[in-house]
Amino acid sequence: MRSVILEDGSDFGAWRSAARELLAAGLPPAQVQWQVGGATDLFGAAPAPAPADPPAAAVGRVPREFMSLADTVLAHSDPRRHAVLYRMLWRLTHGERKLLQIATDDDVSWAHIAAKAVRRDMHKMKAFVRFREVAGPEGAVFIAWFEPLHDIVARVAPFFVRRFTGMRWSILTPLRSAHWDGETLRLDAGADKADAPTGDALEDLWRTYFANIFNPARLKVRAMTQEMPVRYWKNLPEAALIPALIQDASARMQAMVDKAPTMPQRRIPAPVKPVPAPLPGGSLAQLREQARQCRACPLWQPATQTVFGEGPDDARIVVVGEQPGDQEDLAGRPFVGPSGELFDRALAQLGIERHALYITNTVKHFKFEPRGKRRLHARANAQEQAACRQWLAAELDRIQPRLIVCLGAMAAQNLFGSEFRLLEQRGQWITLDESTRGIATVHPSYILRLPSEAARAAAFEDFVRDLDRMRELAP
């Protein structure tokens, strides 16, 4: 009996080296005892450590598919995995070359089930890791606590490196931890839940957003708990809201059904006269008055009111969003809903006063589709955007800003041309004329819609970095 000790039970390289050595020595699976760590051999035989530089020829003819399957299966927590994989390797190299094609074979089917469980765990880790921001001596560090079922951290860490290259982060788990300092990925021993922080300001924002977008009429508890198993909830900031939202859902839905659709009280005056063309005249205050009566496209009809820009007449910076949302429509002011809250947080982080900016939108009316009592945001189409362009042009003409900041592709393409590509050109200066420059970044709602806390935190950081360029030109 040969006993093989693997220091790290999920290390594919170590298992492969040991397996090659055993194959080369002609040791059948029944004569091999696999162990992880320093435990003694059950049979009392002197354990042989895994060889450092084994011969490769013996496994030369093994299908690539098996190697990739073995790599995944080794992350599984089942202690039988090394033995099953070695038995499969032995069979593949001893007359059963087509073994992997026999789906009903016990070893093959076991390996596929184990690989599936590992892949599912990896998927869950990508979806449910929630970073919390911690102030460190060299700036912000993002730390997450996660409890995977299998030893997947080393396999998933490269995904987080690609996704959050610009952030410094640590993912702590009971078995091992991954740390990224912006340049190097380090894998370490496991950690304690107490080592991870609990809660930060971004989390509150995310919870508010989650509660706002939760639609009781669409609630499917079974599908939800399948995709987001309850075992992950304890580490998800939004999960604390879920039981109460589920409990209230049927009552809230019944109330939606019982109530006839009610629209907010309209504040658009009866049509007076057609909109002046080509460029509306007068001061900003007069423009605002004229825009209240705009009928240039059908959006005025269901909207509560026109949401015109606000801010100083002589602002050096004009910020242009896309179109008002539900809350802006009710308040008659731009960027006062969840997107506005996120924008305000970015400004606060940069020390920029909102009231020094002129804030407006490409389209001045809320466009929506009624769903019971709810009004679901709908994107203004090309004609609606074109019809509204006169107002934005008039605002810019009166203010003559030094800098125009576009939030989102709609604003950027209306102002910089339809060729403008936001993801490629964000954060870059655009010269509009000799005294005015433009710059574009993503829309705050894009950040709020990202699926994970970590993605939102990274996108928020990029957003702040783009906005920070405002200070270069118009301090």
| Binding footprint of ligand URA on the chain (CB under 6 A) | 321-325, 328, 334-335, 337, 339-340, 361
- Report the residue number, 163 or 377, with the smaller CB distance to ligand URA: 377
Distance between CA atoms of 318 and 343, rounded to whole angstroms?
A: 14
- For residue 366, the minimal CB distance to ligand URA (Å) is 9
Alpha-helix residue ranges (DSSP H) falling in 129-200: 153-163
213 CB contacts (<8 Å, ≥6 apart)?
Answer: none
- Report the residue number, 39 or 356, with the smaller CB distance to ligand URA: 356
Tokens linked to 122: 């990896």
121 CB contacts (<8 Å, ≥6 apart)?
Answer: 75, 148, 149, 150, 152
Asked if 79 contacts 73 with a C-beta cutoff of 8 angstroms, the reply is no
In this structure, is the dihedral angle defined by the CA atoms of residues 293, 299, 302 and 308, taken in order, positive or negative? negative
- Report the residue number, 71 or 326, with the smaller CB distance to ligand URA: 326
- Report the residue number, 252 or 345, with the smaller CB distance to ligand URA: 345
- For residue 343, the minimal CB distance to ligand URA (Å) is 9
- For residue 303, the minimal CB distance to ligand URA (Å) is 13
- For residue 465, the minimal CB distance to ligand URA (Å) is 20
**In Å, what is the CA distance from 239 to each residue of 130, 224, 447?**
12, 11, 20
Q: Phi and psi at residue 334, in whole multiples of 5°?
A: -75, 150
- Report the residue number, 133 or 328, with the smaller CB distance to ligand URA: 328
- For residue 421, the minimal CB distance to ligand URA (Å) is 19
Tokens linked to 55: 């011969």
- Report the residue number, 284 or 454, with the smaller CB distance to ligand URA: 284
- For residue 328, the minimal CB distance to ligand URA (Å) is 4
Could you count the other beta carbons within 10 Å of the beta carbon of residue 281?
A: 11
- For residue 354, the minimal CB distance to ligand URA (Å) is 13
At what angle are helices 81-93 and 106-128 packed, to 10 degrees?
130
Name the residue whose CB lies closest to ligand URA: 321
- Report the residue number, 148 or 321, with the smaller CB distance to ligand URA: 321
